[in-house]
Every structure is written in structure tokens, then in C-alpha cells.
Amino acid sequence: MLLRGRARRAREAHAGSGDVPPRQGDRRGETDPLDAAQERRVRAVLALGGVPQADLPDGVQQVRLRLLERAASGREAPRDVSAWAAVVASNLAMDWHRAKRRQERLGERLAALRQTEHPSGEDSSVLSVAVAQGLDELPDAQRQVVVLRFYADLPVRSIAEQLGIPEGTVKSRLHTAVRALRARLHEDEVV
């Protein structure tokens, strides 16, 4: 809901100025600031960060809007747009969690996403749900670096630069999070 409101306000603001932000597929002389691979990555980061599938298009629009606003303000484009977009998506997911107070569990959403995208065996589904539930139990900062490292496939250095924290902090959070996830999977007898 938070994402929809922001996206709607952004579209209304652009509509009032006559400058409509481009959507994928639009050919109005401007290109989409996110290519297809970047959009998939943003969607994955949002989904793994806990945003329901119904809100994913709005989250992707928010990332596009922020990229366009950055360009319009005259600021330099990010060196790695894909990494920048993944971090913005991760921050949006954290915002969504704060606004929604985690009304829906990440495990249910991830299981539904996995089933629609990649039908797999029962063992794989059980593991996916267990990992998603473990991710949901991690503190926000740990979940953010795990999602950026293992699902958005960003290197530690890029995560540190984008989040504005030392590489050692990223490594420490990853280590602690992976240890907690491993313990959770053993506790649930999934692995």
C-alpha cells in the first residue's frame, strides 16, 4: 500500500508536468532506465525482502522513479545501476515492512513466488519455505545483506559501497545471518 501511494503520487506529479515516466514497452522517445535483467533483479529483491507480489510493480516503478529523479536533479548516474537499483529495492522492502508491521510472512510469499516461477519437487519446496522463514526471522540489517549477496548476487564490496558501511560489517552480518539460517535449517531438520 505504501508503495502504491508513492507510485500514484509520482505519476500524478509527472502527469501534471506533462512529463510521464516511461513504462516498459513505451516508445515515447525515452528508454526505460532499467533493462529487463535489472527489473528482474529488482523484483527478486523486493519479493525476497517481503513485498507481496501485488505490490511488486509499484516497487519497480519506485526504483525507476528514483533513478529518473536522480538524473533530473543533475546528480551523477550511479556507477553500477544494477547494484544501486538492488539497494534501493532493498530499502523499499524494509520501508514496506515497517509500514505493514509484517502482516504477511515472507515464507508464504516466497513459496507462492517459487511455485509460479519454478515448479519443483517437494523437497525443494520444503527447503525454500524453510529458508524463507529463516530469512523472515533475521534482523532487517542481516536480511538485507543476505538478499543483496545471495539473491541479487552483488559482491561484498558493492554491497558495502551501496549501503555506506565497511566491508567488514557486511561480512560480519553475512556470517552471523548464515550461521543463524544454518542453525534454523538443522533445527527444523530440513538439511
Are the beta carbons of 174 and 146 closer than 8 angstroms? yes
Name every residue whose Cβ is closer than 8 Å to that of residue 28 and which is 6 or more positions away in sequence.
Answer: 20, 22
Q: What pLDDT does 135 receive?
A: 86
Going by C-alpha positions, the residue among 182, 53, 173, 66 that lies closest to residue 110 is 53
Counting every residue written for the chain, the total comes to 191
Confidence check: pLDDT of 18 > 50:
no
Q: Residue 133 has which C-alpha cell?
A: 522463514
CA distances for 98 relative to 1, 59, 75, angstroms: 12, 15, 29
Mean pLDDT of all residues in 91-116: 63
Exposure string for 66-86, b = 16+ CB within 10 A, e = fewer: bbbebeeeeeeebeeebbbbb
Confidence check: pLDDT of 147 > 50:
yes
Band (30; pLDDT cuts 50, 70, 90): low
Are the beta carbons of 41 and 148 closer than 8 angstroms? no
CB atoms < 10 A from the CB of 139, how many? Answer: 11
Confidence check: pLDDT of 15 > 70:
no
Higher pLDDT, 127 or 142: 142
Q: What pLDDT does 121 receive?
A: 55
Per-residue DSSP letter, 55: G
Instruction: Tell me how far apart the alpha carbons of residues 166 and 136 are, in angstroms, rounded to a whole number.
Output: 24
CA angle 102, 186, 190 (to 5 degrees): 80
Confidence check: pLDDT of 72 > 70:
yes
Instruction: Tell me how far apart the alpha carbons of residues 22 and 115 are, in angstroms, rounded to a whole number.
Output: 31
